[in-house]
Structure formats: structure tokens, C-alpha cells
Amino acid sequence: MLKKLFKSFRSPLRRAHQPHSTPHVLNNNQHPIQRGQISRHAISVVERLQNAGYEAYLVGGCVRDLLLGIEPKDFDVATSATPEQVRAEFRNARVIGRRFKLVHVHFGREIIETATFRANHPEGDEEENSNQSSRNESGRILRDNVYGTLEDDAQRRDFTINALYYDPVSERILDYANGMHDIRNNLVRLIGNPTQRYQEDPVRMLRAVRFAAKLDFDIEKHSADPIHDLAHLLGGIPAARLFDEVLKLFLSGYAIYTYDLLVDYGLFGQLFPASAAALRQNPEYTDTLIRNALDNTDLRIHQGKPVTPAFLFAALLWPALPARVIRLQERGMPAIPAMQEAAHELIAEQCQRIAVPKRFTMPIREIWDMQERLPRRSGKRADLLLENPRFRAGYDFLLLRESAGEETGGLGDWWTEYQDASDSDRRVMIRNLSSKDEPGSAPRKRRRSGGGKRKRAPQNGGAGE
């Protein structure tokens, strides 16, 4: 009874004792960041919180990117104010989240994410308040609302390069974790014990890969060593969260390097089990197709063209599909129904690991379905396919398959010519078709081929319109 009574008086700010650390302070003449590079709304949030008597700083990726000469995509604020106190200061603010409660301060389309300083979770004899913090049996943090000081917050952040605090009022940077050292040496380094930090949140392994790829940094040795052995912990992460993480990994302009790191650290198989199996069984074809798709995706992003996850997921999963189609055909199922059934099974399995929304799974299946329909061009079929809203994505996917070495009997060349031909020339092309020009199943033939007529480059590689 007394224990429960005393526990009820605990403040949300109560935390395990941490030794005080003095930050390395960089004045405005010791770093390249200028106020003019920063969102005026972010500066406004910091200044308003400071004027209300709270500590407040810009923190994380925006500070890191400004130091590296990269334009930040958003600005985050860390403060000593609780979410409720932040909400009281801004009428345009909304408290969000349960696992990690924070505040979104809205300025039109721009959102300034504002988080309260966090502290380490109770350990040993300290009991967790389930409303503030909780872990599962593997050590993964399920709730993280233990508030603390600025020093505590710096030690709770994941990587040293993300634990830099910038005060736009004094124009000083506070560095508690030697993040400046790691930025200068191009290193992604976890704060604290790497095994424990990955167990707290296995997604940190994906974040380490993403930052290494984005910044062209190396993952520091001690931070890299446990990844392969702990990769299986991603199986406990909610599938919806992994979908968001995969979009960040592959749709940010550095997908090929990201893919290499995921494969090297054993993480790719945790995200795409069937594709990883295909990579082991048919490494040259699978690797080439995935790389070509990712290369096209990166190119479109760098050119400022639109991208969509549907084409990318279609490419990442395709190498696992043909064997399934063939097995169904061997049981007597016709080609198109076999493709549709195999696609349904593969996507359903993948969604158990990564929750791909239906708005993307439907186009994936339609792109794959086009691979069985594109060889069937006799009569009016070719014109009907050309009018299909998924024709362009299906055609680009056909070229992607051919670029990886699939032999399609010149199908890509034929469709390239057909699109640009006049009506009379199209009729001649249809009449010239023979039975051998219409193979039954797109996935059946797959071998390396060299040379050949140059084809129109895929326009939707890893993207789609």
C-alpha cells in the first residue's frame, strides 16, 4: 500500500540518476549555420518557448544537414516543456502519439514537430509507470514518455550526429555526444551500447543504413557489429511502421547504396523474405533487375519526376513470382489465372511483413498481369492493351525485365515500334505476327542475352505516373 502511495506522487520528470555532462559549445563563428537557412516558423517556435521560460532548441536531422550543406526537409524542436505545456502556448498545435507523445505546431502546410526532452527508462529496482514507459520481453521500447533534462535527452537520442542542439537565438550549437567529431569523420555511430539500443528499437538498424546511404558515411564498427545477429528483431516491428521505413529507404534518391547495405547486413531478407530467397537461388538475374529498378528510381528522383511505391514494390517482389506461376501452371492452371493466383499469394505474404496499402497492391498486381497480356497481340488485343491505363507501367516493366536478361522474343522492341507506328503500319505488324511471337507465359523464359536492338528507356522505372 505505502509503495503504491509513494509511487503515485512520482513526477513525470522522475528518472534514473545520470552523471552530469558538459556539452562542447560551438559559437556562431565556429560553425557554418546561418539563421537565414532556417524556417522562420521553426525559429518562432523556439523563441516563443524560450520567452515562456522553457529551454528550446532545433535538434536532430535539420542541424546535421545544415552542417553538411544539405537543405533540411523539415525542422524539429526539443524543449523542456511537456506536450501539454507546448499545446498551451500554441493554438495551432496538436498533441499526437501514444508510444512517443509529441506536439505538431501547424503553420499552413509546414509542421514544426516539437518533442519534450526524454530521459532513460528506469532500470534495476526502478519500476516503470506503464503510462510513461514500457518494454517488451526482448527490450523493445513500447512507450517512451519519460521526461528529463537536456543532458538526458542527448543521451537518449539514437546517433551522435542527431544529438546536436542549435539555439537560433544565441546561434550556438551544443554537442553532448561528440557528434561534430563523427560528422567530420563521416561516421554513423550509436549513442550507448549498440546491442541494447537496437533491442530498444530495432528500426534503428534501418535508420543506421539510411543515414549511411544518404550521407555517404560509414557505420562505425561497434555500431555495425551487432546488426546481422539482431536483424531478426525487425520481425517484431508493426508491419505498418516498416512500410513507412521502407519508403524512406528506397524513395529518397540513394536506393542502390541502401540496397547494398541492407543485403550486406542481413536486413533485406527481414523486409523481403521471398525476394531474398530468389536472390539466393538466382543471384545474377534478381540482383540485376532490382538494381536496374532502383537506378531508375534514383534517376527520377534526382530529375524531380514523380515516383510511386507501386512500381518499386512490383520490381522488388517480381523475382519471387515466376517460380510460383510455373508451379501453378504445372498443376494445369492457365497462364493468366496462374499469374493472378501467384500474385495474390505473394502479396499477401509480403503484407504480413510490410503492410503495403491496397492503393499500391492493386497497381502491383495490374503491372504483373500486363506481363501475361502484352505477348497476346493478335486481332484487336494490341489496340485494347494500348488503351489500358496500366499499359505504360506494364510496358516499362517489360523493358525492366529485358534489361535484367529475360528473353521475351523481342517483345519490348515490338511494343516500342507499335506505339510510334501509324495505323496502317500497326495493321501490318499485327498481320505479320505468327504463333511463335506470342509466348504463353511471361515468366517462363529467363536467361542472359547480349546485344540486340536498342529499346526505349523505361520511363516509370521504380516510379510510375
Coil vs helix vs strand at 37 = helix
Q: Give the domain CATH number at 296.
A: 1.10.3090.10
Q: Which is catalytic among the residues 65, 76, 167, 175?
A: 76
How far CA 441 is from CA of 56, 334, 369, in Å, comes to: 61, 9, 11
Pairing of strands 172-175, 164-167: antiparallel
Cell of 48: 516563443
The yes-or-no answer on residue 74 being catalytic is yes
The yes-or-no answer on residue 229 being catalytic is no
d(CA 215, CA 125): 41
Cell of 35: 539563421
Q: Which is catalytic among the residues 144, 153, 158, 182?
A: 158
State residue 119's pLDDT score: 86
What residues have CB less than 8 Å from 120, skipping those under 6 apart? 15, 16, 18, 146, 148, 152, 155, 156
On whether residue 268 sits in a domain, the answer given is: no
On whether residue 47 sits in a domain, the answer given is: yes
Q: What range defines the domain where residue 99 resides?
A: 20-120+139-184
On whether residue 386 sits in a domain, the answer given is: yes
State residue 389's pLDDT score: 94
The whole-model pTM stands at 0.83
State residue 336's pLDDT score: 87
In a shared domain, residues 178 and 32: yes
Q: Which amino acid is at 404?
A: A
Coil vs helix vs strand at 195 = helix
Cell of 61: 536531422
The yes-or-no answer on residue 244 being catalytic is no
In a shared domain, residues 151 and 290: no
Q: Cα angle at 117 between 115 and 120, to 5 degrees?
A: 125
State residue 438's pLDDT score: 55
On whether residue 133 sits in a domain, the answer given is: no
The answer for 221, left when phi > 0, alpha when psi is -120 to 50, beta otherwise, is: alpha
Q: 139: closest CA among 207, 204, 190?
A: 204
d(CA 277, CA 363): 24
Counting as low any pLDDT under 50, the low residues of the chain are 1-19, 124-136, 138-139, 141-143, 435, 437, 440-441, 444-454, 465
Q: Which is catalytic among the residues 74, 218, 260, 295?
A: 74
- In the numeric block, the cell 510490410 is attached to 354
pLDDT tens digit string along 319-361?
999 999 999 999 999 988 999 999 999 999 999 999 999 999 9
Domain tally for the chain?
A: 2
On whether residue 97 sits in a domain, the answer given is: yes
Q: State which of 154, 184, 214 marks the end of a domain.
A: 184
State residue 456's pLDDT score: 55
